[in-house]
Structure 1
C-alpha cells in the first residue's frame, strides 16, 4: 500500500517536472523563433517570451506612445509584439500607401483577430473581420447596395430633412447637442436600413447601435490579455469569464439586429433590410451574416458622423477665425434669406466648406487606428524588411495625420491645407486617409461625406458657435486634446453656445424644421423589441 502510494507520487512528481521542462523548452524555442524573425522586421521594443510587448504597451491611448516610440527608433514602421506575433504600426502616410494601397491586391486581408473575431464568432461571418476573398467581395458588394456612391444621392431628401431638425435642436436644446447629433446620425442610417426614423434622443435602437460599435475597441493591442494568449479562450468560464461574456453578448446583439430586421421588413418601406432578406437565400447568407451587415451599417453610420460633427463644433469654438471665413463664404453664396441647398454644394460654390470637412477628418480622425488591421496574403519584402504572410499592419492615424512634414502645425485647424490643391505633397489626391486604405476603405465614406457637407454647412450658416459659459457667465476654456480613449475617438463632453446669426435665420430654422418633420412622417414607427426578447430567443 505504501509502496503503491510512493510509486503514484513519483509518477506525478516526475511527470510534472518533465512537463515543466518541456514547457520551458518549447517557450524558449518559440522565443528564439521570435528573435530570429525580429532580425528582418522594423525596429521596436524588445519582446519578452510568450507575452511579447503586451505589458509594455499602455492600456490607455497607446497610439500616442507608439508615435513616441517611432520617433525614438527613427522609423516609420514600428514592430510591436502582441504575444508571439509581430504587429507593424505604420506611422507614415507614404509607407502605408506603398503597402496598403499600391499592394492592395495582397494587403487587403485580415490577420487573426482573437477578441474581435474568434471570441465573438465574427471571423467567418462579419465583413469587418473576413479575410480577403470571395466571401468578403460578396459582403462588400451587398453593402454597396446600401451606401455606394451611386445610391446615396437617393437619400438626400431625408438626409437634408434630418439635418434641418438637428439644427433646430441646437436652438431649442443646446445643452443636449451631443445627444441630438447621435439621434440625427442613427436616424438617417436607420431610414436607410430599416425604413424607420429615430425621433427621440436616447432611443433604444440608437443605444444598441452605439453598443454594437464598442466592439472596435477589441482591436486595441495590449488591452486584452486574450489577444496576446489566445489559449485563454479555452479556459472554463469559472476560471476566466471574459470569453463566455463576449460570446454571450455577441449572440444576443446579433439576434437582436436580425429580429429587428425581420420585424421592420413588415412596415411597407423600401429599405436595405428588404433587399437583404429577399436575397439571403440567393447569396447563401446566414442569419448571423445578415445581422452583421445590418449592424455594421447602423453602427458605422453613428460613430463616424456623430464624432466628426462633435469635433467640428469644437474646432469652430476654438478657432473663430476659421468659422468667420466659412461664414463669409456662406454669406456671399447663400445669404440670410434662404438656407444652403444641395445645388450650392454640388456646384462647387462652397470650396472653403469642402476644405473644412476634409480638415476636420484629418485634424481629429475618428478611427484613430484606421479601423481594422490589414494583413498580407503573400510574403512581402519592403525597404529591406521581410513581412511573412499574415502580418498585422495597423495604421496609427494619430501619427500619420499629425506628421509635421505633411501637415505643419498639425494641431492647428486650417482648411487652407486643402483649399487650392494640396498644401504639401501626399501619396493620394485626397490629401489624407480618414477612411483607411485600398480595398478595405470604409464602405460608408460616400454617405458620411455627403451628410457632413450638408449638416456642417447648414450649421455654419445658422450659428455663431462660441465656448459655453460657466456659473459666473464667463466663457469656459475648451481643450482640443480632451478626447475619449476609444479606438473610435470623440471629444469628451464640452460646453458651447449656438447663437443664431440673424433674426431671419432664426425664423428659417424653425420654419424649415416644421416642414421637414412633416415630410419625415412617412418614416415614423416604433419597435418594442428589446435585447431581453432577443436573449430569450437566442437561448
Structure 2
C-alpha cells in the first residue's frame, strides 16, 4: 500500500470519526457508562467480543441493572439488562426501536440487502418479507403442520433409541427435515443431504462471531477496503465461500419447487408452492422476496432448533430430578402413551421445562441488536438516533433477584402452587416488539413435542466432556461464543425406558 493511499485513508478515517462524535449538545445526559470513556475512542477498547453477554450482565449487576451507555468512535451503544427496560423501549416504543444497525460485514455476506429478513433495516422491504412469512406461520395457521411435526418428532425418537450415541446428528435431521419439508416439500433423512450441507456451511460461516465482528466493523467501515493480500484481509476468502454456500441454500430448493410446478407434480405441497400459486392467481410478478423468506426460515430454524435440543439434553442429563417429575406428571395426566400437541394444556410441567430451558440456556444470549431511528428520552437519559440497542437476554434471565440460583434448572419457577403455569411465561429468545420471530409458533410446537417425547421415553444421564473425560456439572457448564450459542461439546448416556422401543401408532410406555 502506497504512503499516499495510507495517508488518505488515515485522513478519511479521522474525518469520519469526528463527524460522528460532534453533535448538537443536549440538556439530557447519556445513560451512565460502566467504564471510563476515553476521548475519541470512547469505550472501543473495553467492549468485549468473547461472550459479551457475560460481561454486560456483570456490569449490569454492579449498577443495579441500570440502562448503560457505551461509545466506540462515535457509535452509541445502549446495553439493556433489565426486562422492564427492554419492554418499555423495544416493544412499547417499537416505532422508534425496530430498526437494525448497519452491519457492513454481513452486507458483504449477501445477508443484509437480499437474504436475511432478521437483519434487514426497518422499512418497506422488511415489511414485504414479514408479511410473506406470516401468511404461512401465524398462530392461527400453524396447526396444519402438526401432523408433519409429529411424524418428524417420532422419527427422531426412533433414531435416538436405535443409535443413542448419534443423538447430535438426529437433532440436525429433525430440525432440517421439518423446515425443508414445510418450506419446499423437500425430504431429507441424513445430514449428508447436499442442500442441508450447504445450509449448514452457510450457517457455520455466518454464525460464529459474525454479528459481533460486523458491529466492530461498523465503527470503522474503512476496514472493509483492506485488500485480500494485505494482512487482515483474509476475510475476503470466507466471504467468497459463504456466498457460494448461500447461493446453493437459497436457489436449489426453491428452483426444485418451481420445477415440480412446471411439471405438474403436486405430491409435495409446500409453503413456497402455495405462495407461488397465490402470486400467479393475483397476476403478480415473481421477485426474490419469497425465495429469501424461505431461505431465512431454513437458516434460522435449523440452527436454533438444533441448538435448543442440545441444550435440553444437557440440562436433563445434569438435572435427573426433572425427568422423574416429568414422567410422573405425564403418567398422571395421560397414562402410558406418548403425548400429543393436544395435550399441551393438560401437562403444564412440560411447558415449564421449555420455559426454564429458554431461561437457563437462551439460544441467543446476547440478543439481536436493534437501532433507534430518532433521538429519544428515557428515564431522563438521551438515547441518540442511530444508537445500537443490545437487549442482553442473558442478563435478563440470569438475574438472581428474579430467578434465585440462576445456574440451577428448576421448571417449578414457572408454575403456581397449584401446578398451573404462572404469568411469567414469556420466551425472550424469540425477540422483541415488531422484530419478534415470525416463526416462533411453529418452533414452540416442535420443541414442545420433542421435549415431551424425550421426557416420556428416554432416560438421559452422565454428561461428560469428551476432551478431558471430566463429568460436566452445573458449575462448569459453558456456552460457545456465537450469535446462536451452543453448549460445550459433550457426550451422555441415553437409554429408552421400559416399553419405549416400540413406537408405532398408539404405542405406550411404562413408567
- Tell me which residue corresponds to 1:394: 390
Among 99, 123, 131, the residue aligned to 1:109:
99
Q: 2:240 aligns with which of 233, 248, 256?
A: 248
2:302 corresponds in structure 1 to: 302
Which residue, out of 9, 17, 33, partners 2:22? 33
What's the counterpart of residue 462 of structure 1? 457
Question: In 2, are the aligned partners of 1:465 and 1:498 still within 8 Å (CA)?
Answer: yes
1:147 to partner: Cα distance: 2.3
User: Aligned partners of 1:201, 1:318: CA distance in 2, in Å?
Assistant: 27
**Shift in alpha-carbon separation, 1:225–1:358, aligned structure 2, 3 A:** closer
Give, in angstroms, the shift of residue 395 of structure 1.
1.1
User: Does residue 92 of structure 1 match 2:82?
Assistant: yes
Q: Distance in 2 between matches of 1:191 and 1:513?
A: 24
How far does residue 24 in structure 1 lie from its aligned partner after superposition? 9.4
Of 482, 487, 491, the match for 2:483: 487
Take 1:112 and 1:283, find their aligned partners in 2: how far apart are those partners? 31
Query: How far does residue 369 in structure 1 lie from its aligned partner after superposition?
Result: 1.9
Post-superposition CA distance 1:76-107 (Å, at most 9, x none): 32223344301112111111111011111221
Q: Label 1:333 to 1:64 Cα distance change in 2 as closer, same or farther (>3 A).
A: same
Specify which of 62, 79, 93 is matched with residue 69 of structure 2: 79
Q: 1:82 to 1:463 in 2, by over 3 A?
A: same
**Is 1:231 equivalent to 2:222 in the alignment?**
yes
Distance 1:119 1:34 in 2: 32
Distance 2:122 2:35 in 1: 30
Which residue of the partner structure matches residue 260 of structure 1? 253
TM-score, normalised by the number of residues in structure 1: 0.81
Match of 1:339 in 2: 338
Secondary structure of the residue that 1:465 maps to in structure 2? strand
Aligned to 1:129: 119
Taking a change above 3 Å as real, the CA distance of residues 232 and 222 of structure 1, as seen in their structure-2 partners, is closer
Give the distance between the partners of 1:324 and 1:475, measured in 2 at CA: 25
Contact 1:183 1:202 in 2 (8 A): no
CA shift, 1:243, in A, is 6.2
TM-score by length of 2: 0.85
Partner of 2:373: 377
How far does the alpha carbon of each residue in 1:42-78 deviate from its partner, in whole angstroms, 9 at most, with x for none?
3233445665434323332121112222233444322
Shift in alpha-carbon separation, 1:513–1:221, aligned structure 2, 3 A = farther
- Alignment partner, residue 274 of structure 1: 273
Shift of 1:16: 11
Cα drift, residue 404 of structure 1: 1.3
Is 1:164 the equivalent of 2:164?
no
SS in 2 for 1:411: coil
- Write out aligned runs for 1:46-57 (5 A): 46-48=36-38, 51-57=41-47
Identify the residue that residue 358 of structure 2 maps to in structure 1.
361
CA contact (8 A) 1:101 1:438 kept: yes
Distance 1:118-1:324 versus aligned 2 partners, 3 A rule: same
3-state DSSP of counterpart to 1:343: helix
2:382 is paired with a residue whose SS is strand
C-alpha offsets along residues 284-318 of structure 1, whole Å, 9 cap, x if unaligned? 6643x444312211111112212112111111111
Preserved CA contact (<8 Å) 1:52 1:81: yes
Q: How many residues align?
A: 489
Gaps of 5+ in 2: none
Q: Contact 1:31–1:49 (CA<8 Å) still a contact in 2? A: no
Aligned equivalents of 1:101, 1:250: Cα separation in 2: 33
Confirm whether residue 500 of structure 1 aligns to residue 491 of structure 2.
no
Q: What displacement does 1:352 show?
A: 0.6
Q: 1: distance between equivalents of 2:310 and 2:298?
A: 18
Residue 106 of structure 2 aligns to a residue in which SS? coil
Q: What displacement does 1:41 show?
A: 3.6
Aligned to 1:442: 437
Give per-residue Cα distances to partners, 1:222-280, cap 9 Å, x unaligned.
Answer: 67752331122234333363564455345423422223311233343211222444566
| CA pair 391-279 structure 1, distance change in 2 beyond 3 A | farther
CA deviation string 1:343-366 (max 9, x = no partner): 322xx1101111111111111110
How far is 1:17 from its partner?
13
CA contact 2:319–2:409 (8 Å) conserved in 1: yes
In structure 2, C-alpha distance between the alignment counterparts of 1:46 and 1:124, rounded to whole Å: 39
Q: Residue 527 of structure 1 aligns with which residue?
A: none
Q: Are residues 1:120 and 2:110 paired?
A: yes
Pairing 1:188–2:181 present: no
Contact 2:20 2:73 in 1 (8 A): no
